[in-house]
Amino acid sequence: VGMGKDHTLFALIPGKVQFLVKGAAQRQFVTVVPA
């Protein structure tokens, strides 16, 4: 996942962007699930 200057998130490989919340601090993660 890449991030633009305006904090726009985009996938670097073909697939779907998936948002995850995990950990004790409820941190947010972004991953790409390959198509």
Round to whole Å and give the CA distance between 28 and 13. Answer: 20
Contact 23, 31 (CB under 8 A): no
Residue type, 26: Q
Domain ranges for the chain:
2-34
pLDDT for 1-35, tens place per residue? 888 999 988 888 898 888 999 989 999 998 888 87
**pTM (global) more than 0.75:** no
